[in-house]
Structure 1
Amino acid sequence: MNIDFKKLLSKFSSKFANALGSRFCIGLDMGLDRLNLVQMEQLAGKMHIRAIASIAYPCSREELQANPKILKTLLKQAYATQPFRGKCVVSCLPIDQIKIITITYKHTEGQDDAVAVVAELRERYKSELDNLVVDFMSLRQEEAGSNHRDALVALAPREKVVAYLDLLTSAGLSVNALDIGPAALARLVSHTGAIHVPEYPKLPNVLLINFGSDSSFLTIIWGRRLMLDRPVEFSENRMFNRLKHTLDMPEELMIRLLYENNTNAEKTNGKNVNAKSANNSTDEINQMVTEVLRPEINALLQEVNKTLVYMASKTRGKSVGQIYLTGRVAGYPGILNYLREQLHVAVDILDPVEVFAAEKYKLSSHSIGAMPGIALTTGLALRGIPEHG
């Protein structure tokens, strides 16, 4: 799967101190405004989350990337509050430093796929390719007999990759691997299926909708293999902007209305205060918010349907058997319920904390699984771990 990352990693990796550290590396995601960390462990033959943290930056991400001391301070904070063990990490480049594309390349019997992928990229990027680090993974093919294959390719400027590796190692970490985001998410879905799907080891075909602050992604996992990953313009910030421009609503109120449970009326001294009136008022506000956001949700639905139609055309009419939602927007009932009403497929929230929660250690927040980047980080932490431990 690697063309160049392994050579770079060999310069920055060190021997692991113990068996646990080498097997259960820490997933590390440097998000837009938070550092996300997840580490797994095995308890009674099952995989659980050993430690998890999502820590807000004290500065801009650009400043953090330029100063390993700030990253070291954040890591120290995470280790003080959660039982992280070892310094071995699996990470991925920040999304603004990497370009992920899908290409079709010609497969020749007996030829290494990496050679064919590089040949196709050379046609596109010419000499520019010499300054890029390339990683790729072949996508599942449903059309038999074709000599053309699809691959998901990650491209990043060499200096950006070296700078990121240097940042991590300067903060005292040992880098086991740099992963591709969609591959990490596919891994998370497969592990979730291994836990919840009665037909395991057969797994359903899944559409994962990964909601982000600035953009969202639709990822198709066909059994265990990644088949498609595409961005869509729908995002949390688009929802916030529509509410702000239409209702002049402050962000704190948006968050409370979208994500907090408003089913209970206010209580004072243990007694209901105007319970019926409060519930009616909440219902009216929620209905108004839903109507304002309807155009955004409809646009998302159109993208989902477009993706499902495309997959049916590629798989001779087959479709997904499960849709998962992850990210903070997944906690907004207006989207979850609407997708359930409009799509003839099971739609559920994929919360890594709920999937892999262990009672042995207290998690830092009951809602941390919905934080942006936690699903990706959990997938990073699962790299190299078998689905059944």
Structure 2
Amino acid sequence: MNNYILFNKFIILIYCIVSYIEGKGYRAAVIVALLVIYVTINVAIYVINSELIKLVAVIISIVLCIHLSYYTSSVFILLLIPNLSELSALYFKSVFYSILFLLIPAFTLEAVILKNYILIASLSCIIIYICLRTENRFRDMNKQIDALRQEKDKLCKLTIIEEEYKGQLIYAKQLEERNIIAQEIHDSLGHAITGSVMQLEAVKLLLDKDKDKALFILQSAIESLRNGMDDIRFTLRNIKPPREQIGINKLKLFIDEFKRKSTLDIKLTYGGDINKISTEQWSCIYDNAVEALTNAVKYSKALSMVISIEVLNKILKVEYRDNGVGVLTIKKGLGLQGMEDRCAALKGKFIVDGSRGFSIIMLIPVANN
């Protein structure tokens, strides 16, 4: 708004000067001096920060316009239009006041200048109205942006709180599992060892006096310890998760973390009997997934990647495919070479294709059981 008013002032000023020259005006030196003062005052309005001094400068500019119009040429009354528009725009923020202020000088003008005055004043009011509407829209948009920014900050805080809460839950679950393991060991192996120690002490006392009874107590202690070990094995088997759950969940966790840190859209699919996948094979799948995702972000300029794991009858097929730029001539650097070496260590076949995006396929033999 301020830029428009200042620009409007100088356009009307040029028009007034041209009209004055065409009208063969006089006292050119005085007019130039007054116009220089007018320009200085109006530029100062947008440099000064004090609202009171700005108001005084606008009033002085209005008085100077009236002086120029009455003592030199009536065409300079047109300079009142931007000053009055500025007064209403800066302090009243209303088109109604602009129209009201601009109507006041119209009653004192001659018919020759009145036509130009009404035309320029009307255009000024229209442009002021448009500028005020635009300012209001920008103000509303800024408020919406601030509101969205606050919502984003709230969501970020909630995300942090959620992550902390999830961490606490995991830690609490770990403590609970440790407590269960400790209680199981105490209830089974602890009692068995305590009883066996007491029996062995009795064996030591009876070994010379009653050899048969000592052997009977010794056998009982052995059976007690064997039962305790069986209980421990049973407890550990129940607590220890299957390796396929460890492998797939570890891969899912890494993918979720990677998606949060990058813009890459990652999809994981798997099928077949994943129980056949060994711990070493899961390790290879995980390590190669880390390398493939890193390369997709650094080199392929990809937006998405699909990781597919399929267990067939005797073959494990793993594919990492992105939708990046691809490459016709493939040069195996340290990353690709490391992926191939891990696959070869499992007696697998390593296939790379850069024709449609970038694809890496591993074919690894699996056991039938």
**Which interval holds the TM-score relative to the shorter structure?**
under 0.3
Structure (1/2) with the larger helix percentage: 2
Higher Cα Rg: structure 1 or 2? 2
Q: Which has the higher contact order (CA 8 A, sep 6+)?
A: 1
Structure (1/2) with the larger strand percentage: 1
What's the TM-score, normalizing by structure 1?
0.18
